[in-house]
């Protein structure tokens, strides 16, 4: 299950630590963290799943909620990323695509 459907207090710390309160299998709230620098990289100004250390070439990093056409709000990581030409490019990535809640823990899939 995508983590945001069972999460509250979704926030970003230090520009790369995803933090959320999740519900586990017993319905209890558990605080969980995931270092996005370990799973997201920068590929010439675009976020890349399976990469690492995106923060090293990023500015104005934020997490926001974006409404989809079906009305569901999804968590999006947004930043200005450096490309190979030395320019900063606006980029975003849907965190719900690959991050799940596994019994109260944020996991990359």
- 9-53 pLDDT per residue, tens: 999 999 999 999 999 999 999 999 999 999 999 999 999 999 999
Q: How far apart are CA 63 and CA 25, in angstroms?
A: 26
Q: How far apart are CA 4 and CA 58, in angstroms?
A: 24
Q: List the chain domain ranges.
A: 3-108
Say if residue 1's pLDDT is above 70.
Answer: no
Name 108's Cβ contacts closer than 8 Å, sequence gap at least 6: 34, 38, 39, 98, 99
CATH class belonging to 3-108: mainly beta
Is residue 46 classed as helix, strand or coil in its secondary structure?
A: strand
């Amino acid at each position: 299950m995508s983590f945001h459907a069972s999460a509250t207090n979704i926030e970003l710390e230090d520009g790369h630590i995803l933090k959320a309160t999740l519900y586990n299998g017993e319905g209890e709230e558990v605080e969980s963290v995931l270092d996005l620098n370990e799973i997201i990289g920068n590929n010439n100004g675009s976020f890349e799943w399976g990469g690492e250390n995106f923060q090293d070439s990023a500015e104005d990093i934020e997490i926001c909620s974006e409404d989809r056409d079906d009305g569901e709000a999804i968590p999006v990581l947004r930043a200005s990323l450096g490309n190979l030409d030395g320019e900063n490019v606006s980029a975003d990535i849907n965190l719900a695509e690959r991050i799940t809640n596994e019994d109260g823990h944020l996991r990359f899939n």
